[in-house]
């Protein structure tokens, strides 16, 4: 099967790497950023192009959500399968007369971070059983965690991921701002972060909650609020504590 990956960002890189590590040949990577494509090509030994798309059996679109529809119009071949990797978009966003599908990897991707691809959940959707089986087989070559999911379910998967990953990472960034402001090495907090994440592998997150809000320790909450001089951080602190207290009916 001739596979073309469209894109040059983190998702495109990791999809290409996951495939090549399993011996799945990528016919070509196509995108506008020649500098990034050249780096990927040199590392993974995958040919690349910034020009017109060549014929393929499967095109995997790995671009930002707001560019998926535009990029999909570049594919004029009709007898092919096209998949996007978005968690939020329906397969119908793909604007062509080809067969439409989605191939969503549930993971946060950074170019410099190694990943265990076999642990990444993949959610697939296609217009017919044959294409569904093709994508399922392809994803199963990479991962041991492959599921079918329609767009309605996938929207909630992505929303959950934003809470569990993007928001949490933003709080890590805000925490580092506070530690940096007091010249406290952020590395001191890594064992705490690691234990917090590891704990929810064994305990329901709601049961694992600790801290002054769940204890309803008003003295400590007020002390922390006094320490926060930045209005944005203070608002986040109050909002998070209110949410915790509401969850535990305090």
Structure tokens at 178: 């506070």
**Angstrom distance (rounded) from CA 165 to CA 129:** 32
Q: How far is CA 87 from the centre of its chain?
A: 8
What does the pLDDT read at residue 54? Answer: 87
pLDDT category, 198, cuts 50, 70, 90?
very high
**Angstrom distance (rounded) from CA 186 to CA 249:** 32
Average the pLDDT over 15-26 and give the result.
96
Q: Is 230 helix (H, G, I), strand (E, B) or coil?
A: coil
What does the pLDDT read at residue 45? Answer: 96
What is the per-residue pLDDT across 136-150, written as a single tens digit (0 to 9) for each?
Answer: 999 999 999 999 999
What is the per-residue pLDDT across 117-132, written as a single tens digit (0 to 9) for each?
Answer: 999 999 999 999 999 9
Helices (H) and strands (E) in the chain, counts: 11, 8
pLDDT category, 107, cuts 50, 70, 90?
very high
Give me the chain's average pLDDT, please. 96
Kindly tell me if the per-residue pLDDT of 250 is higher than 90.
no
What does the pLDDT read at residue 70? Answer: 96
What is the per-residue pLDDT across 216-232, written as a single tens digit (0 to 9) for each?
Answer: 999 999 999 999 999 99
What does the pLDDT read at residue 214? Answer: 97
Q: 66: Cβ–Cβ under 8 A, 6 or more apart, which residues?
A: none
Residue 139 to residues 27, 30, 223, Cα–Cα distance (Å)? 17, 21, 50
**pTM score, whole prediction:** 0.91
Average the pLDDT over 37-48 and give the result.
96
**Angstrom distance (rounded) from CA 89 to CA 66:** 10
Closest to 100 measured CA to CA, from 123, 128, 76: 128
């Amino acid at each position: 099967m001739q596979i073309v990956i469209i894109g040059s960002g983190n998702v495109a890189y990791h999809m290409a790497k996951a495939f090549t590590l399993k011996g799945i040949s990528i016919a070509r990577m196509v995108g506008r950023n020649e500098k990034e494509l050249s780096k990927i090509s040199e590392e993974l030994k995958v040919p690349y192009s910034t020009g017109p798309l060549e014929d393929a059996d499967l095109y995997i679109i790995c671009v930002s959500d707001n560019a998926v529809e535009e990029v999909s119009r570049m594919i004029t071949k009709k007898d092919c399968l096209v998949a996007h990797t978005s968690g939020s978009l329906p397969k119908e966003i793909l604007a062509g007369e080809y067969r439409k599908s989605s191939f969503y990897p549930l993971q946060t991707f950074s170019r410099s971070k190694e990943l265990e691809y076999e642990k990444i959940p993949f959610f697939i959707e296609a217009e017919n059983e044959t294409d569904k089986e093709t994508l399922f087989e392809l994803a199963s070559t990479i991962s041991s965690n492959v599921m079918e999911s329609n767009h309605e379910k996938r929207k909630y998967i992505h929303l959950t991921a934003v809470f569990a990953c993007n928001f949490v990472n933003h709080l890590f960034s805000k925490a580092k701002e506070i530690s940096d402001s007091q010249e406290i090495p952020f590395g001191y907090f890594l064992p705490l972060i690691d234990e917090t994440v590891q704990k929810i592998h064994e305990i329901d997150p709601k049961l694992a909650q600790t801290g002054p809000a769940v204890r309803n320790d008003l003295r400590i909450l007020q002390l922390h609020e006094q320490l926060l001089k930045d209005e944005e951080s203070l608002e986040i602190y109050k909002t998070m504590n209110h949410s915790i207290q509401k969850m535990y009916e305090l």
